[in-house]
Structure 1
Amino acid sequence: MSAYEACAAHTQRGGLAVSAAGVFWLQSDPAEGNANLWYLSEQGPARLGPDGLGIRSRVNGYGGGALAASDTGVFVVGEDQQIRFIDLADGTCSLLTDDPGATYGGLIADAPRQRVLAVREAGGEQQLVAVSVDGELRTLHSGQDFYSAPALSADGRKLAWTSWQLPDMPWVRSRLWTAGVVQDGGLRECRHWPTPSEASVQQPVFDRARLWVLSDHAGWWQPWYLDTLIGDGLWHSGQSAELDHANAPWQLGECHHCPLANGGWARVQYRNGSGELWLLSPEGGDAFRVARDYSDFRYLRASGGSLYCVARSATHLDAVLQIELQTGQARILAGGENPLPGSRPALPLDIEVPALEHGEQPVHGFFYTPKLASPELPPLILMAHGGPTSAAYPVFSPQVQYWCQRGFAVAEVNYRGSSGFGRKFRLALEGRWGEADVEDMERTADHLVSVGLVDGRRVFIQGRSSGGYTALMAMIQSRKFTAGASMFGVTDPLRLRAMTHRFESGYLDWLLGPPGANPERWRERTPLYHADCIAAPMIFFQGGQDKVVVPEQTRAMVDAMKAAGRTSELHWFEQEGHGFRHQANQADMLERMFSFYRRHGRKANERAENMS
């Protein structure tokens, strides 16, 4: 499998919406680098909407919620960030907003009022708004720094949402709100519902008189409900397992739990980084797990006697699933293709690295053995995920398969700060970015070497975005890595703090502490100032249109390494942003990285042989 084929195979699906009109989802086109609207026709999956209509929200820089379905059509956010309505009766696509400088996301359809609710971002502010099919824009609520997850009751008379204020991130501290919806569509009696203790709340959903939400005030993102008829403000436990039932809300529009027509529930829970889908019978009865072949689930939607979702697995591409509630039987509606015909992909093996201190949680990750047979122990590539409050999941990755088919072992590490392991583990990175995450990456490498799975003389480390920062800090602090790679990684946190987008403007202070109070820590944790400490070679990849980690960050780091006499390579992709979207560029990046690793891995072997 060539790098080009690996990337071309990876069609992603997401943004699922279900209504009386049908089942709709977004599907990426790797060749074009954008997402298109698809639906389930009588003949099977089919494109919907005019040619060239790319769909993507950029709210908060990471988007989400760019699709919502009503009974007569579909609302979408185009690449120009304006909302459109596709009428299913005649196929027309109408522009509903003409709002230069604004971005929209988090769409939900308000079918009885023939409108869509959305989060609007413009001029450094956000509002909760409604947009009618006639193009009328109405502000429903404002005054909070950030908005997310609008949810309507079945009768359309109640609305819930979440918000948070700077400098917080939504996975640190956020608020739950409700309001009544009056006849003309406005809101009344807006109020927020304090959690029993500090918490991150997400994904509110109404189920008759109860408002359910995922809150981590008890240590995990678990289901809790409030009785909105009584309105006493009491939080009632959903009696669920002590596991996260959602991941970090980087994007709008996520849904990991939903009520079912039979009175039961569908819920996702993450166990050691792997997602499980459970159906619960009414009144808290027996629960049973479904779709066991899959390890991550997003966008849960219920309609009639079925549950719909987007599911991912370690062996196949993303699939749109329909699950019969009565039997639990799963049927693939779209996707689920075998990306490697004629061969079996490398499968993830759970790894657990013991905690450093008693009472702390171990570090989990996923290890992939190489497919290329060799009598020698394989070289290892450690992958640091981005975020850093994100996570690695045991799902098909063309990049991982690419390395395994070329003789490398791969370890994806859920270091401290990753989501999916509870609030305490997620917040353990506060003030310790570039330290705790680096410790966990190094300990994972040591563990894999000590148990005889990989060659300790050839250990590489790489990461994207904040994962690139972790890789750089590891290269600065350790001599155990043969070479490293940074893909649009952070190199100067203080400069990034001054230039990054509003969503993450307070995040760096949380990760490193306020710079005025911790100037030495910021200097110690700035890769740019320690380029001379990087003894091993580094390769860098950067997009010229990156608005998150601005391109100057990478250029300055490469220049500093060259000035210090260190080995570095820079590969520039002018039309790419934060995350490469075009398959040809993804393939080129892999091929260049492979050549780089192979060259320096060979040199490391030669040095080891000469020393012996």
Structure 2
Amino acid sequence: MTASEAGIFWLEFDPASSNNLLRKATADGAQPVTSADFGIRSQVNGYGGGAVCAGADAVFAVEANQQQIHRIDPQTGLTKAIIRDPDASFGGLAWDHRHRRVLAVRESKGHQQLVAVQGHNRFLTLHDSEDFYSAPALSSSGSRIAWVSWSLPDMPWVRSALWVADVGADGRLTAARCWPTPTAGSVQQPAFDGEELHVLSDHAGWWQPWAVSFTAGRARWRCLDPTEADHASAPWQLGERHHCPLERGRWARVRYIAGSAELWLKLTAGLPPARVATDYADFRHLTVCNGHLYCIARSASRLDSVLAVNLENGRVQTIAGGETPFPGTPIVTPRAFRIPPSRGVHEEVSGFWYPPLGGESGNQPPALILIAHGGPTSTAWPVFNPQVQFWCHHGFAVAEVNYRGSAGFGRDFRLALAGSWGEADVEDMERAADYLVASGRGDARRLFIQGRSSGGYTALMAMTRSQRFRAGASLFGVSDPGRLREVTHRFESGYLDWLLGAADEFSGRWQERTPVLQAHRIRGPMIFFQGGQDRVVVPEQTRAMVEVLEQNGQAVELWWFEEEGHGFRQRHNQIALLENLLAFYQRHSQKCNDGARQLR
């Protein structure tokens, strides 16, 4: 979301065109601004973010195909490129109200810069000494700027640094300086309360809000909220906003508690903060305009909503979205589960279990699909997921597991996956399977495991390590980390060494945790889905894995979608994925039932 005098704007995915389209708040709800053939999406770092910002009288957005910044008239929807830089991608857009220009992260040929796009086809380099840049933030006067940078081989949720600078009358930066955290930590989402700088930092164990000032030659960090909870998710994308200073000591913040998000407001000095919008379980892109807080909110029982929260009384209004997904059809809601620490495992593992809607009879436990989320530094939130509903409506139970490495449970839990990918995550998926079977929420003979991207790797490793799972599914999943290390994009070029240990020092461990080299250990059937244009997990990964399984005479299926990338965007391909995966699960679930009847 983004807001200015021009209005309140957000992006909305259009299934028909597979594009992100610009929408605007109106007195009657919302109206489209751009046409269906103008897609908006940044590709900086491969995952984008910050693809749109609102200026004084226009909106600026990154066009999806050419990756150039366009000016959009909010009244007519007419678009015009303001820069022609064919070798570059842009993201993390922010409006500089003082100099009436767009600030952005520019990425070209593996190099990033913080730039200002000012005038037609002109940009000024503001800073370019660091490997990676986040979306910048400006103070109320526009005379100070802050951003976060990080350097290889780190990922931004492992170690990053806060930078600040003064902005001169000519728009150039002066006195740029790095303000390190008191101890090692990850900093994100700088925001100004007037001229006071606030950030989220996890150097004390959680992503908590801090006020940062610079006096006597050193940075001073003051914690604004000691609540032991992450106030943000992992910064895979640029431009996320989970906290928002509201001036005069007031604020809005998101807290992640036990895998679910809460929205908290401090509206009156001297009174404690209050939680609002309690029907929702995730909140993104907090934006303030005209006495209201706007955000994108997600719940377990409705489609994504655009909320407006009155900052005088805390009342919540839905201004767009929020529809009931399947009118007249029940929605299966999640039920949280927690697995306490066990011998040798000191961390609690949690997740969300969804019961089947029909399809089971008597006291027979249901067939259960365990889902390993991607990332792996991502999270399973208890929000509406049409694919989960699809499985439940076809008689399957589903469990989404927040294994070690997931974000939202503190720094230590997130970093517990360092050097242990393919082990700790798999062990936690096994713990979840055993726990749910023991409690009658899954049939031990009909356990399935699936994952996408890094979750596909977890599913493959689980199939090599364990006989618990009847079959497995990899959706554009990693099967050869060593090969991927050679060709992956710059953003994640050091991530695999962090996850698995340096390849030159632990080559034996790399081989043990490379599914394509351990394929002979897989005893159950496998199904694969892959996009031909995937630049994150290159298609050769899946082809090689399938070929090895076929050579071994193992049961394997491959569904190839040449025009898709890392994640399927086209509706007919999403439908094909679900239909073929359902047939796979039903076929192997039925074989178990047939075998049980023969034994009796």
Report TM bin, short chain: over 0.9
Give 3-state SS (helix, strand or coil) of 1:233's partner.
Answer: strand
The match for 1:4 is: none
Select which of 425, 429, 448 maps to 1:437: 425
1:17 matched to 2:5: no
The match for 1:116 is: 102
The match for 2:152 is: 166
1:54 matched to 2:42: no
Give 3-state SS (helix, strand or coil) of 1:177's partner.
Answer: strand
The match for 1:393 is: 381
CA contact under 8 A between 1:265 and 1:282: conserved in structure 2? no
Give 3-state SS (helix, strand or coil) of 2:113's partner.
Answer: strand
The match for 2:491 is: 503
Structure 1 range deviating more: 521-530 or 130-139: 130-139
Select which of 357, 364, 367 maps to 1:371: 357
For residue 304 of structure 1, report the CA deviation from its aligned partner.
Answer: 2.9
The match for 2:594 is: 606
How does 1:340-355 map onto structure 2 within 5 Å? 340-355=326-341
Give 3-state SS (helix, strand or coil) of 1:118's partner.
Answer: strand
C-alpha distance in structure 2 between counterparts of 1:275 and 1:90, whole Å: 37
For residue 282 of structure 1, report the CA deviation from its aligned partner.
Answer: 5.2
1:272 matched to 2:258: yes
C-alpha distance in structure 1 between counterparts of 2:544 and 2:359, whole Å: 40
Are residues 479 and 217 of structure 1, via their aligned partners in 2, closer, same or farther at CA, if it must alter by over 3 Å? same
CA contact under 8 A between 1:85 and 1:133: conserved in structure 2? no
CA contact under 8 A between 1:322 and 1:333: conserved in structure 2? yes
C-alpha distance in structure 2 between counterparts of 1:537 and 1:68, whole Å: 47
Counterpart amino acid of residue 2 in structure 2: A
The match for 1:472 is: 460
CA contact under 8 A between 1:210 and 1:228: conserved in structure 2? no
Are residues 572 and 128 of structure 1, via their aligned partners in 2, closer, same or farther at CA, if it must alter by over 3 Å? same
Counterpart amino acid of residue 251 in structure 2: W
Q: How many residues align?
A: 597
C-alpha distance in structure 1 between counterparts of 2:216 and 2:140, whole Å: 18
The match for 1:9 is: none
For residue 263 of structure 1, report the CA deviation from its aligned partner.
Answer: 3.6
The match for 1:533 is: 521
For residue 133 of structure 1, report the CA deviation from its aligned partner.
Answer: 4.1
1:136 matched to 2:131: no
For residue 281 of structure 1, report the CA deviation from its aligned partner.
Answer: 3.5
Partner deviation per Cα, 1:184-230 (whole Å, 9 max, x = no partner): 10000000101110000000011124211100000000001113577
Are residues 585 and 237 of structure 1, via their aligned partners in 2, closer, same or farther at CA, if it must alter by over 3 Å? same
The match for 1:258 is: 244
The match for 2:442 is: 454
Are residues 91 and 479 of structure 1, via their aligned partners in 2, closer, same or farther at CA, if it must alter by over 3 Å? closer
For residue 328 of structure 1, report the CA deviation from its aligned partner.
Answer: 1.3
The match for 1:564 is: 552
Are residues 576 and 284 of structure 1, via their aligned partners in 2, closer, same or farther at CA, if it must alter by over 3 Å? farther
TM-score normalized by the length of structure 1: 0.95
1:188 matched to 2:151: no
The match for 1:77 is: 62
For residue 491 of structure 1, report the CA deviation from its aligned partner.
Answer: 0.3
Partner deviation per Cα, 1:363-389 (whole Å, 9 max, x = no partner): 010000011152222100000000000
C-alpha distance in structure 2 between counterparts of 1:484 and 1:89, whole Å: 50
Query: CA-atom RMSD, angstroms?
Result: 1.5
Give 3-state SS (helix, strand or coil) of 1:112's partner.
Answer: coil
Counterpart amino acid of residue 25 in structure 2: L
1:101 matched to 2:77: no
C-alpha distance in structure 1 between counterparts of 2:218 and 2:414, whole Å: 31
Select which of 72, 79, 85 maps to 1:86: 72
C-alpha distance in structure 1 between counterparts of 2:340 and 2:36, whole Å: 52
CA contact under 8 A between 1:209 and 1:229: conserved in structure 2? no
For residue 325 of structure 1, report the CA deviation from its aligned partner.
Answer: 1.5
Partner deviation per Cα, 1:228-272 (whole Å, 9 max, x = no partner): 577741111113310000000000010000011554000000011
How does 1:308-323 map onto structure 2 within 5 Å? 308-323=294-309
Counterpart amino acid of residue 26 in structure 2: S
For residue 96 of structure 1, report the CA deviation from its aligned partner.
Answer: 1.0
The match for 2:502 is: 514
CA contact under 8 A between 1:540 and 1:554: conserved in structure 2? yes
1:487 matched to 2:472: no
1:38 matched to 2:23: yes
C-alpha distance in structure 2 between counterparts of 1:308 and 1:322, whole Å: 5
C-alpha distance in structure 1 between counterparts of 2:175 and 2:237, whole Å: 28
CA contact under 8 A between 1:22 and 1:39: conserved in structure 2? yes
Counterpart amino acid of residue 26 in structure 1: L
C-alpha distance in structure 1 between counterparts of 2:270 and 2:332, whole Å: 39
Partner deviation per Cα, 1:265-320 (whole Å, 9 max, x = no partner): 00000011100000013557411000001000000011232100000000001111
Select which of 566, 579, 584 maps to 2:567: 579
Counterpart amino acid of residue 377 in structure 1: P
Partner deviation per Cα, 1:330-385 (whole Å, 9 max, x = no partner): 11111111111002210010110111348833101000001115222210000000
TM-score normalized by the length of structure 2: 0.97
Give 3-state SS (helix, strand or coil) of 1:448's partner.
Answer: helix
Select which of 63, 71, 81 maps to 2:48: 63
CA contact under 8 A between 2:267 and 2:312: conserved in structure 1? no
Are residues 442 and 66 of structure 1, via their aligned partners in 2, closer, same or farther at CA, if it must alter by over 3 Å? same
C-alpha distance in structure 1 between counterparts of 2:416 and 2:8, whole Å: 40
Partner deviation per Cα, 1:434-464 (whole Å, 9 max, x = no partner): 0000000011010001011221110000000
The match for 2:162 is: 176
The match for 1:549 is: 537
CA contact under 8 A between 1:224 and 1:237: conserved in structure 2? yes
CA contact under 8 A between 1:449 and 1:455: conserved in structure 2? yes
For residue 121 of structure 1, report the CA deviation from its aligned partner.
Answer: 0.4
C-alpha distance in structure 2 between counterparts of 1:556 and 1:544, whole Å: 14
Give 3-state SS (helix, strand or coil) of 1:234's partner.
Answer: strand
C-alpha distance in structure 1 between counterparts of 2:80 and 2:231, whole Å: 37
CA contact under 8 A between 1:72 and 1:89: conserved in structure 2? no
Note the residue ranges of structure 1 that are not aligned, 5 or more in a row.
1-15
Note the residue ranges of structure 2 that are not aligned, 5 or more in a row.
none
C-alpha distance in structure 2 between counterparts of 1:533 and 1:162, whole Å: 44
1:198 matched to 2:152: no
C-alpha distance in structure 2 between counterparts of 1:228 and 1:585, whole Å: 53
Are residues 89 and 527 of structure 1, via their aligned partners in 2, closer, same or farther at CA, if it must alter by over 3 Å? closer
Counterpart amino acid of residue 230 in structure 2: D
C-alpha distance in structure 1 between counterparts of 2:271 and 2:175, whole Å: 35
CA contact under 8 A between 2:190 and 2:200: conserved in structure 1? yes
